Structure 1
Amino acid sequence: MKVLIVDDEKHVREAIRYFVPWDSYNISGIYEATNGQEAIRIMQEHQPAVVFTDMRMPLMDGAELLEWLHRHYPHTKTIVISGYQDFNYVKPAIVYGGTDYLLKPLNSKQLIASAEHAFKLWMEEEAERKRRQRQNMQLNALRPLYWDKMLSDLVSGQASFHELKLALCEELGMPIGAQECRIAVIPLQGADCHLLRRFRGDVALTAFVLANVCNEVMAADQSGYAFRNWQGGGELVVLLWSAVAQAEEMLNRLNEAIRQAFGVQLDIGLSPLNPLPEGLRSALEQAGQALAERNLLQRDGRIHPFRKRGEGSGPANDYGLEGRLDKLRIAVLSGDLERMERVAEEWAGHLAGLPLLTERVLLHQETEMLDVLKRWRPEAEISLERCYDAEGLFSVENWQCRLKSLLHRLSKGSPQTPDSRLVQEIREYLDRNYAQEMTLQHIAERFFISRENVSRKFKQITGENLSDYLTGLRVEKAKALLQNTNLRLSQIAELVGYEDEKYFSRVFKKTAGLTPREYRKQEEEA
């Protein structure tokens, strides 16, 4: 706490300084002023918690100062010290919330009692203010999650629009008479070579940051709201309820904001106009279909409006797929890696030469291809990651490299021991739940293994202590937030699993060699 003594008589200021036991209440600064104008300048610079003030002073008297304090610093505690018992002097102290009114000459016991009462009152109120601030921070942190859940349920038909309508209008700015809507879907994996990598592959974190960017752009005219679809996994949904005719223009603005922030643009599927609320579910499906039917080989235009599916694009007419699958079967049965790689090259060359390659067709081809590989290596984990370039566009070259890499790994065989599978599951669990409170006992109970075995097996397989892995994971997530957002440290600490900001800062510095603030400053200057 800091204290301000305002009196034009020096001996009165000295008496207050002498009698009050400042050290008992950790007073960090004691300031003096001879009139109300000086007091205002000190208040604006130092914000003292308690003010002792005389009533009769030159330039600005105590009554004017009390009124100013009440208006600008309502939490400040004031003790009036006056040589007059006139009601005209007592009244301002009462009206503007003074904690006490002392008469000169000062009685040391009364002065000490008044000061201690003001200190205790301020500390109690400050503790309550901090409690409410923490509560508000928690509510603010939960608010996006709440709307993610509510809107996910709404667009999937699991929540009532009429029950949510008032909150949508009051909190998100939807017009009370809105009758039409359009939905846009942004697949977050679509830029995995660039955007997701910035957030260490964390889809939830990426969705959180992108939703903030989109909602900042739309906040100006409250045209809609962006949220992560809990039903759809890795996708961001933009619900537009105003200026729906200009939806493509709005989405281009969102994409430009994302490009400015992260250097990449994203593919966005857009539904046609639908009635609100009965058309919400259809709009979501149409936006998803617009993405699935977009031409992956197209390099221009990132907004993909919904179009009815054309004839002849289904899996049954899938560009000679069976012939390529037969070549792949023969190659893997031969065990000849060079032969397998030639199949991968021919397949990639075929894809690159197509006039139209939709995501739906590519996924169907990959599913059939992986089925062949699983029959060859049933014991192995087999998957083919999406293949996008630095601009977030599908790359046949990257697709070919990923396929060759997979074939190379499978040709060597990839047996997993039970212990390595267990440790892999534990790592995946930590990767998904790092923001939750995580103890060794909790992990042991979840995976039905003793605490000792959890630590031993994790160290044996990975060469790293489990606690070090979790700490490193949390610090990496925090780095991504420090680099890419303006969130306060307390918010970042909570998002990566630390309730105490100071403890988070100590852990971060021990791991990264810099405090979070130093790291953020270094990244801003880089």
Structure 2
Amino acid sequence: MNSNLLILFKGEKQDYGKVSLHSHSFWQLEIVTRGHIAYTLLEESGKVLNAGDMLLIPPYQGHEFRYDMPGAAWVTLKFERNVRHAEPWGGVIPKSLFTEKFTASLLATITGTILRPYEKTFVEGMLESLFVYIESEDFCRAEDEPSRIVRAITDMVRERNGRPVNVDEIAERLSYTRSHVSKLFKQLTGENLKSFIDRVRLEKAKEMLRYSEFNISYITEELGFKDIFTFSRFFKRMTGMNPRQYRAH
């Protein structure tokens, strides 16, 4: 594993304060869990982290934090890492479905700051997943308004974990019309939104058929299909095989 966790602690500030500009030889990940924290990094000042945002700080990069509004809370992870690139990336990792899951898993698993060996290994594994996320298309996609909408759509579909969601429901949650959501998704991804929803459902169906012991009736119900016939027809249309054939393949 590339990451070696040095320390993890949870902070909270009920009044105003500041951590002066400094740097160190190890990495730091700052996760804002409540309120707002102003920061300086790479000589950029006047920036603000909101709840759900993360700040990744590479070694030897000067940084400071300012608590201009009482009530801020955060989690700090400091760690060493074997870097494959000459110039490691650092900066803001905006709030997303990934950061929400990352933070929720961290807070649910780690109850104290003196970690047991298996807890330390767990956190180090999460740090590895963070770096994989940073290098993914989801993170690298430009964050203009259309891109944020498309990211929200894909997050919403994948949150269902294979269960049905329709375009009207997505449009209503985003406060846009069905036609606008469908057109925007097609323009930015090249894929029809309904096709994307079906593809995500198919991915989950394949996963359950191949790697679980659940029977097809249970999988049908779990994925929200009306009956086995409907599920089989959907699966055959997408793959050319029915679920039983795929499982035996």
User: Given the two structures, how large is their TM-score scaled by the length of structure 1?
Assistant: 0.27
Counterpart of 1:433? 160
Structure that is richer in strand per residue: 2
**What stretches of structure 1 of length at least 5 have no aligned partner?**
1-295, 298-311, 317-321, 335-340, 348-362, 367-371, 387-391
Counterpart of 1:449? 176
- The letter of the residue matching 2:230 is Y
Distance in structure 2 (CA, Å) of the matches to 1:397 and 1:445: 37
From 218, 232, 243, the equivalent of 1:505 is: 232
Deviation of the 1:456 alpha carbon: 0.8
CA contact (8 A) 1:474 1:497 kept: no
Whether 1:365 aligns to 2:77 is yes
Counterpart of 2:111? none
Distance in structure 1 (CA, Å) of the matches to 2:166 and 2:134: 35
Deviation of the 1:439 alpha carbon: 2.7
Counting aligned pairs with the same residue, the percent is 25
Counterpart of 1:469? 196
Q: Root-mean-square deviation (CA), in Å?
A: 5.0
Deviation of the 1:466 alpha carbon: 1.0
Counterparts in 2 of 1:18-167, with a 5 A limit? none
The structure-2 alpha-carbon separation of the partners of 1:400 and 1:470, relative to structure 1 and needing over 3 Å to count, comes to closer
Whether 1:487 aligns to 2:214 is yes
User: Given the two structures, how large is their TM-score scaled by the length of structure 2?
Assistant: 0.51
- The letter of the residue matching 2:91 is L
Deviation of the 1:326 alpha carbon: 10
The structure-2 alpha-carbon separation of the partners of 1:454 and 1:403, relative to structure 1 and needing over 3 Å to count, comes to closer
- The letter of the residue matching 2:201 is R
Deviation of the 1:440 alpha carbon: 2.5
Counterpart of 1:258? none
From 330, 333, 337, the equivalent of 2:43 is: 333
Whether 1:478 aligns to 2:202 is no
Structure that is richer in helix per residue: 1
Distance in structure 2 (CA, Å) of the matches to 1:506 and 1:408: 33
The structure-2 alpha-carbon separation of the partners of 1:424 and 1:493, relative to structure 1 and needing over 3 Å to count, comes to same
CA contact (8 A) 1:435 1:494 kept: no
Counterpart of 1:424? 151
CA contact (8 A) 1:379 1:415 kept: no
Counterpart of 2:67? none
The structure-2 alpha-carbon separation of the partners of 1:428 and 1:382, relative to structure 1 and needing over 3 Å to count, comes to closer
Deviation of the 1:331 alpha carbon: 7.3
Distance in structure 2 (CA, Å) of the matches to 1:470 and 1:485: 22
The structure-2 alpha-carbon separation of the partners of 1:364 and 1:493, relative to structure 1 and needing over 3 Å to count, comes to same
**What stretches of structure 2 of length at least 5 have no aligned partner?**
12-21, 29-38, 45-55, 62-74, 79-89, 106-119
Counterparts in 2 of 1:304-383, with a 5 A limit? 323-324=23-24, 332-333=42-43, 343-344=58-59, 363-365=75-77, 373-374=91-92, 383=99
Deviations 1:481-511 (A, max 9, x none): 1123222212211211211211211211222
Counterpart of 1:519? 246
